[in-house]
Structure 1
């Protein structure tokens, strides 16, 4: 049995796979943090870990969702949400953790860019709900 991706899923999968290089960079940066080479607060360290973890898990889930979305044959806006919701969540949530904790000195609280985490959570919910309903109804 061969898996045939739709053109939309194939394009999204290609972009998602390319983002893994940025996740690798994040992992390298976390090793610098762990060695004490980067002067940051405990809050910033925690958010760096959260951003990196969310990126890795959601990119993996996003790739799985592409295959499942093609199995539903969802089209139009619902198909787009089912395919892109989780990959967008990976970008938004990770960016939210990193950007909201950026800065020098005693950064101990997230800035307003933390809203990206909540936008990512909405994107995640929309993607998995649309896909789940699509799988149950087709």
Structure 2
């Protein structure tokens, strides 16, 4: 059973998926040529959209796993961190190529690396939390 805070988080994330779906309509306009974009922008927009979808699903799965294992406290940072990285990484991809015909990404691409670092730490915390919970349940 989901903890109340996890249920609220999951509900917010499920509603936020609407923005990813809307991003899909944007991607359709880009790839069909109805929305102007150079090759760099097309690549970064595709990467941003893909990362958003995958990381939201991963964040919800981690949230469910932590709740199913009865994990509370510090290890729950794992799920929250994955979900925050699902915002930072795509934002870095999209916002770093905003503008008319950019030739290279701007400094906002740092969000990609910040998000990747947060994702790594979050997965470490969640994974270790799950292993510890499992080991404790065995004893």
TM-score between both structures, scaled by the size of structure 2: 0.90
Counterpart mapping for 1:34-113 below 5 A: 34-79=31-76, 81-104=77-100, 106-113=101-108
Cα deviation 1:33-53 (Å, max 9, x = unaligned): 111111111000000000000
Q: How many pairs align?
A: 133
Correspondence 1:126 to 2:121 = yes
Match of 2:137 in 1: none
What is the CA distance between 1:32 and its match in structure 2?
A: 0.5
Q: Aligned Cα RMSD in Å?
A: 1.1
Q: Distance in 2 between matches of 1:125 and 1:71?
A: 22
Q: Distance in 2 between matches of 1:76 and 1:136?
A: 15
Give the gaps of 5 or more residues in structure 2.
134-139
TM-score between both structures, scaled by the size of structure 1: 0.91
SS of structure 1 residue aligned to 2:35: coil
What is the CA distance between 1:71 and its match in structure 2?
A: 2.8
Aligned match for 2:112, one of 90, 94, 117: 117
